[in-house]
Copies of this chain bind each other. A is one copy, B any other.
Amino acid sequence: MFECHRAVRRIRCGMNDWRPRVAVIGTGGIAHVHARLIRELGGELVAVCGRTAAAASAFGHAPPYDEPSRMLRETAPDIVHVCSPHYLHAQHSILALQAGAHVVCEKPMATEIDDALCMIEAAERAGRVGAICYTYRGYPLIEVLRARIAAGAFGTLRRASGVYLSQDVFAADKYVWMFSPGTTGRSYVLLDLGIHWLNLIEYVSGQRIVEICAQFSTHQPERVWHGLPEEGREPPGVREATGEVRVRHGLEEQADMLIRLSDGAAGCVTISGVSPGHPNTIVLSLDGSEAGADWNQQDPNVWVERRPSGNTIHQRSPEDLAPALAWMSRLPAGHAEGYVDAFRNVVHQAWSAMRGKDIIYPTFTDGLCGLRLVEAAVRSAASGSVVAIRE
């Protein structure tokens, strides 16, 4: 073990001197991860706002609120982390920005492009930072791959493929609030899952997706709302004697897409919420004119370099990161870093930007780009033909 003899990089977050006052809007599962990260990064959690005061109280960690405006007024946070349902992201983010706070907003940025544009305008007007939780970008190996691609280590990119396979809604009796009309936007699986992959491939490749051709599948168009916490408010639908509600949502759970990147690479990707045995498989698979690469979020500490002479499994190691990114990975190879470590890196990037650091982080603009890709996919699936992405 690396007790004293393996090089362990220092924790140079450079933020030991900043203790921002942070509020969280939303009390679901992800809000708990935010609360933990806020604390670990040295922030002070000054308020939590839930749909109800009871939910906010049960959340713990900080004074509870059930009304964002009042929370903002009374606690005046430096930063607001927006973890509310998707369709409320825009409203809550804009309120926070107008109150002078920076915003870290969960993905998708919004359910409509117009809302996203309003958020960008609000951030600009307020002179505040708006960041989107493209969490998976925070894995150190994403930066390693990105740097190698940029340096031409794989040659010219030719293929950019992958999957985001999840079993989130595989169970036939599973209901999530996103199946309720008006909460989701125009696509369930792309806004909830696919938008991560789309941003990831653009980020890693350093290119834009310029064409999309999509095929949507709805395997279970009707679901039953049981009133469980994660199912959200009672949706419109056929109410059973039991109090359960049958909802004919019509949302796709699977999207297959062809994509073309700006420099000519092509590929395909499947996004699914009903793929059994895949808790959260996010794969990037790249071919270049010199070599290929594969990475899987479920096994995030390795990547595979493919060459005709053999395929090499590389373990994540701090030495593989450029000095400016060394803070993203602190453990020697063989000592797994995980999802929370990646998430912390992304929040750290956003907070650093709020301090004025010149640092790459997932911006509101990145959020908007994701929505445009989803919108293109929706149109393509409807028309059965390729859609070019307009900038």
Interface residues of A (CB under 8 A from B): 1-8, 10-11, 26, 28-33, 35-36, 39-40, 60, 83, 85, 106-107, 135, 156, 158-159, 161, 166-168, 170-172, 176-178, 192-193, 196, 213-215, 217, 219, 230-232, 254, 256-258, 260, 264-270, 272, 274-281, 287-292, 297-301, 304-315, 317, 330-341, 383-386
Q: Evaluate contact between A310 and B277: CB separation under 8 angstroms.
A: yes
Q: Evaluate contact between B339 and A331: CB separation under 8 angstroms.
A: yes
Min Cβ gap A321→B in Å is 16
Q: Evaluate contact between B28 and A3: CB separation under 8 angstroms.
A: yes
A1-B107, A159-B272 as given contacts; A6 in contact with B29, CB under 8 Å: yes
Assembled-state Cα–Cα distance A334/B230 (Å): 19
Q: Evaluate contact between B258 and A217: CB separation under 8 angstroms.
A: no
Count copies of this chain in the complex.
4
Additional A-B contacts beyond A4-B85, A6-B230, A215-B266 (14; CB < 8 A): A1-B192, A3-B106, A5-B176, A11-B35, A40-B40, A213-B384, A217-B264, A256-B258, A268-B268, A276-B290, A310-B314, A331-B339, A338-B338, A338-B341
Contacts of A60 in B (CB 8 A): 10
Q: Evaluate contact between A275 and B159: CB separation under 8 angstroms.
A: yes
Instruction: Look across to chain B and name the residue whose beta carbon is closest to the beta carbon of A136.
Output: B1
Assembled-state Cα–Cα distance A77/B26 (Å): 38
Out of B32, B107, B298, B336, name the residue touching A298 (CB < 8 Å): B336
Assembled-state Cα–Cα distance A213/B332 (Å): 32
Q: Evaluate contact between A313 and B313: CB separation under 8 angstroms.
A: yes
Assembled-state Cα–Cα distance A266/B269 (Å): 12
Q: Evaluate contact between B1 and A230: CB separation under 8 angstroms.
A: no
Q: Evaluate contact between A335 and B331: CB separation under 8 angstroms.
A: no
Q: Evaluate contact between A170 and B308: CB separation under 8 angstroms.
A: yes
Contacts of A307 in B (CB 8 A): 276-277
Q: Evaluate contact between A159 and B270: CB separation under 8 angstroms.
A: yes
Contacts of A268 in B (CB 8 A): 215, 256-258, 268-270
A29-B4, A32-B8 as given contacts; A335 in contact with B217, CB under 8 Å: no
Out of B106, B277, B334, name the residue touching A292 (CB < 8 Å): B277
Q: Evaluate contact between B11 and A29: CB separation under 8 angstroms.
A: no
Contacts of A260 in B (CB 8 A): 215
Assembled-state Cα–Cα distance A39/B16 (Å): 12
Contacts of A277 in B (CB 8 A): 291-292, 304-308, 310-311
Instruction: Look across to chain B and name the residue whose beta carbon is closest to the beta carbon of A253.
Output: B158
Assembled-state Cα–Cα distance A106/B257 (Å): 32
Assembled-state Cα–Cα distance A274/B292 (Å): 10
A4-B177, A213-B213 as given contacts; A267 in contact with B275, CB under 8 Å: no
- Pick the most buried of A215, A275, A310: most chain B CB atoms within 10 A of its CB: A310
Min Cβ gap A43→B in Å is 13
Min Cβ gap A118→B in Å is 21
Contacts of A258 in B (CB 8 A): 213-215, 256-258, 268
A1-B135, A267-B270, A337-B338 as given contacts; A276 in contact with B196, CB under 8 Å: no
Min Cβ gap A379→B in Å is 13
Q: Evaluate contact between B5 and A167: CB separation under 8 angstroms.
A: no
Out of B36, B215, B231, B331, name the residue touching A213 (CB < 8 Å): B215
- 7 smallest A-B Cβ distances: which pairs? A277-B306, A280-B334, A279-B334, A4-B28, A8-B29, A385-B385, A338-B338
A3-B192, A305-B310, A306-B276 as given contacts; A335 in contact with B341, CB under 8 Å: no
Contacts of A6 in B (CB 8 A): 29, 168, 230
Q: Evaluate contact between B274 and A267: CB separation under 8 angstroms.
A: no
Min Cβ gap A70→B in Å is 22
Contacts of A85 in B (CB 8 A): 4
